[in-house]
Structure 1
Amino acid sequence: MLREKIQAETVTAMKAKDKERTAALRLIGAKIKDRDIELRTSDKKPEDNELVTDVLMKMAKQRRESIEMYEGGGRQELADKEKAELAVIEEFLPKQMSEDETRAAIAAIKGEIGAEGMKDMGRLMGELKSRHGASLDMSKASGLVKEALS
């Protein structure tokens, strides 16, 4: 499972005295633990790998936004730190679909559910997320769905 793999990698990084990697892995572990605490009172608990993947995807998105802001503000040293953390996070994420693969998935789902126009965008996005959520950047997919429906 993903959670155990992250914990094992943390121990390996600590033994190797790789401070940056250890810090990034500990940050991932802390975010997962925070999510576990949030879900203690929840009725519906997601499957463990799904939960970890969701946390990782949110962390990756935050890092990408931070990198963009830091580079725009001329803070390259902070952008480099975020890039290093992003590289560690992406090691544990499933391989992301290419733009062509995303377009093909959108076309297939569009045909299956009979989506015609923008009124069907919610249904199409929901189905796309349920099938390919972990391997898609949903913000990029949203633009491609709009394009396919217009």
Structure 2
Amino acid sequence: MSLIDQLKDQMKEAMRAKEKLRLGTIRMALAAVKQIEVDTRESLNDDQVIAVLTKMVKQRRDSIAQYEAAGRDELAQAEASEIQVLETFLPQPLSQEEVAALVEATILEVAASSMADMGKVMGALKPKVQGRADMAAIGAMIKAKLQ
């Protein structure tokens, strides 16, 4: 079953259970996917849907930081609840050890030796960890290894 189909099924379940927050979040995710499909005029595969959901989670994390800085804890809590719903559709996150092992293997795979090769490493690593790890943290890890 594709990820879009899972989202649609979960939307129906949320409607039946009258879970407003879950329903609204899933509808928002489906709308974001549909918008990209309309813009690009092609249907998205599961990896592309994961990228959309990952972006949505990242946006919500940024919003939480801003809301907390402004003292708006109720809005930060709403964003955190949306993150929990979105993360149920994302693959299981990688542990620090798994990420470190993937970084090491990818550096050897692309024969990276200096900071000039960081783009090659990131390009090769991104499809392997999409939606399962924070790319900013991975970038810092690669930078530390290549220096």
Matched AA of 2:104: A
Matched, 1:132 2:125: no
Please report how far the alpha carbon of residue 98 of structure 1 lies from its aligned counterpart in structure 2 after TM superposition: 1.7
Q: Give distance in 2, aligned partners of 1:46 and 1:101.
A: 31
Matched AA of 2:17: A
Q: TM-score, normalised by structure 1?
A: 0.92
Q: Give distance in 2, aligned partners of 1:58 and 1:17.
A: 27
Question: Sequence identity of aligned pairs in percent?
Answer: 37
**Matched position secondary structure for 1:96:** coil
Residue ranges of structure 2 left out of the alignment (5+ in a row): none
Q: Give distance in 2, aligned partners of 1:123 and 1:98.
A: 23
CA contact 1:118–1:149 (8 Å) conserved in 2: yes
Please report how far the alpha carbon of residue 46 of structure 1 lies from its aligned counterpart in structure 2 after TM superposition: 7.3
Q: Give distance in 2, aligned partners of 1:14 and 1:47.
A: 24
Q: Give distance in 1, aligned partners of 2:43 and 2:126.
A: 15
Q: TM-score, normalised by structure 2?
A: 0.94
User: Cα distance 1:143–1:46, how it changes in 2: closer, same or farther (>3 A)?
Assistant: farther
Residue ranges of structure 1 left out of the alignment (5+ in a row): none
Which residue does 1:22 correspond to in 2? 23
Matched, 1:84 2:81: yes
Q: Give distance in 2, aligned partners of 1:117 and 1:138.
A: 19
Which residue does 2:7 correspond to in 1? 6
Q: Please, what is the CA RMSD of the aligned residues?
A: 1.3
**Matched position secondary structure for 2:38:** helix
Matched AA of 2:3: L
Q: Give distance in 1, aligned partners of 2:129 and 2:21.
A: 31
CA contact 2:3–2:46 (8 Å) conserved in 1: yes
